[in-house]
Amino acid sequence: MIALLLRDLKLSFRAGGGFGLGLAFFLIVTVLVPFSVGPQSALLSTIAPGVLWLGALLACLLSLDRLLALDWEDGSLDLLATAPLPLESVVTIKALAHWITTGLPLVLVAPVLGVLLNLPVPGFSWLVISLLIGTPALSVIGTFGAALTVGLKRGGLLLSLLVLPLYVPTLIFGAEVARRGATGMETSAPVLMLAGITAASVALLPFASAAVLRINLR
């Protein structure tokens, strides 16, 4: 398992792995927002938590189609499926690798982008906390979507159509935590709900992803 994780991490960090693309996308989205809504700092600080969450979610989505497709193309997915490691563990590791290379960096740069959008000071810690709790769910749900569309030639657009509705609850609670945090409101209820979604997704969805992958590998 650790070997597989290290392999995935190495592949994504090296040339052509696409590491950093998501971060660059996140940065560009954040820079484009003031151009589209105007530079008034009061307006920006109101929408900052939601915009940052949406940017992180889209950046996560962007890298999903590489998650399994490359392994599918060169046949290593078939090898992994016949390996003694259960396919459930394989998809969990894949999701973990995706989170380490996409979700975690997003969490780390989010406060910097928060400065650009004039995020209120109490909002910073809540933004980081909500992203830290919520992005694993995004990776796991995304892995399910990637497993569904892995055999398709032009699966990219379909992948977004399938995954985005599944992201709705995570986005609602995640952005709610960040928004409430920014305005100094009580945050414990959405934090618990967000943590619950993440915990349930991590616990259950790998089984669905593995089942779907088996169907696709048939």
Please give the residue ranges that form the binding site for other proteins (CB under 8 A).
144, 148-149, 151-152, 155, 158, 161-162, 164-166, 168-169, 172-173, 176, 189-190, 193, 197, 205, 208, 211-212, 215-216, 218
Choose between 89 and 216: whose C-beta lies nearer to other proteins. 216
Choose between 21 and 166: whose C-beta lies nearer to other proteins. 166
Cβ neighbours around 165 below 10 Å, total: 9
Least gap, CB of 134 to other proteins (angstroms): 12
Choose between 24 and 78: whose C-beta lies nearer to other proteins. 78
Question: Cα(208)–Cα(49) distance, rounded to whole angstroms?
Answer: 31
Least gap, CB of 121 to other proteins (angstroms): 25
Choose between 5 and 164: whose C-beta lies nearer to other proteins. 164
What are the structure tokens assigned to 206, written together? 């790998």
Question: Cα(83)–Cα(66) distance, rounded to whole angstroms?
Answer: 21
Least gap, CB of 213 to other proteins (angstroms): 10
Which residue has tokens 């392999």? Answer: 7
Choose between 70 and 158: whose C-beta lies nearer to other proteins. 158
Least gap, CB of 145 to other proteins (angstroms): 9
For the chain, how far is it from start to end, CA to CA, in angstroms? 23
Provide the CB-side half-sphere exposure for 200 (13 A, CA).
8
Choose between 70 and 172: whose C-beta lies nearer to other proteins. 172
Cβ contact 59:160 at 8 Å: no
Task: Say which DSSP state 152 is in.
Answer: -
Least gap, CB of 196 to other proteins (angstroms): 10
Q: Angle 123-148/41-62 helices, nearest 10 degrees?
A: 30
Least gap, CB of 17 to other proteins (angstroms): 27
What are the structure tokens assigned to 65, written together? 């189609």
